[in-house]
């Protein structure tokens, strides 16, 4: 099964998880980059990123190559912003038809769980007619906290995707 991980990462947590998952699955990676970068300052990232996520914005992305037909499985990775997924991932979903693909979801946050984020992503996918949504995994600061718990979650997620 040919797999790609499509993700957005602001502060390297989602990037770290995506790379670990790709390593275990032998998957390709596609890092989404908005044309206009989001700020990383403590308050400004919450204000601008959170507002953008709540408003369901779809920012322009830097050019990327993605051939839908080349993959059987697409794993979507995102930080959790305002209890939902990031606008760059929303743009990717708008620009690409993933119907007929097996879908996996993972999210990274600084605390709490990603249930609302996953619900929002599933709603977006279902509206596009995508129903084969499989494994989900939520990681707490996987880059900053390279703990056995996060590593076990990554391993478990990969095992579920491989089924």
pLDDT bucket at 162, cuts 50 / 70 / 90: confident
Task: Give the 3-state secondary structure of residue 104.
Answer: strand
Average pLDDT over residues 145-154: 83
pLDDT at 46: 67
The least confident of 62-76, 116-130, 145-159 is 145-159
pLDDT at 45: 67
Average pLDDT over residues 135-155: 86
Q: Tell me how far apart the alpha carbons of residues 133 and 4 are, in angstroms, rounded to a whole number.
A: 15
Q: Tell me how far apart the alpha carbons of residues 163 and 161 are, in angstroms, rounded to a whole number.
A: 5
Q: Which tens digit of pLDDT belongs to each residue from 107-123?
A: 999 887 899 999 999 99
Average pLDDT over residues 76-87: 93
pLDDT at 56: 83
Domain total of the chain: 1
Q: Which tens digit of pLDDT belongs to each residue from 17-60?
A: 999 999 999 999 999 999 998 877 777 666 777 777 778 888 99
Q: Give ∠ CA 131-136-137 in degrees, rounded to 5.
A: 165
Given a cut of 80, whether residue 133 has pLDDT beyond it is yes
pLDDT at 70: 97
pLDDT at 155: 92
| Contact of 62 with 23, CB cutoff 8 Å | no
Average pLDDT over residues 136-156: 86
β-strands 102-109, 133-140: how paired?
parallel
Which domain covers residue 20, as residue numbers?
A: 3-162
Read off the CATH number of the domain in which 36 is found.
Answer: 3.40.50.360
Average pLDDT over residues 133-143: 89
Q: What are phi and psi of 60, to 5 degrees?
A: -65, 140
Give the Cβ contact number of residue 140 at 10 Å: 18
């Amino acid at each position: 099964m040919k797999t790609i991980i499509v993700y957005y990462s602001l502060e390297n947590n989602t990037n770290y998880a995506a790379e670990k998952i790709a390593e275990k699955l032998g998957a390709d990676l596609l890092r989404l980059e908005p044309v206009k970068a989001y700020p990383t300052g403590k308050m400004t990232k919450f204000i601008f990123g959170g507002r953008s996520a709540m408003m369901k914005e779809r920012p322009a992305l830097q050019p990327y190559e993605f051939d839908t037909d080349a993959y059987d499985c697409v794993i979507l990775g995102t930080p959790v912003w305002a209890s939902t997924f990031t606008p760059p991932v929303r743009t990717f979903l708008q620009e690409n038809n993933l119907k007929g693909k097996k879908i996996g979801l993972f999210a990274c946050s600084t605390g709490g769980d990603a249930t609302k984020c996953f619900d929002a992503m599933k709603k977006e996918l279902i509206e596009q007619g995508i129903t084969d949504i499989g494994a989900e995994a939520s990681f707490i600061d996987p880059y900053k906290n390279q703990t056995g718990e996060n590593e076990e979650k990554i391993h478990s997620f990969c095992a579920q995707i491989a089924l």
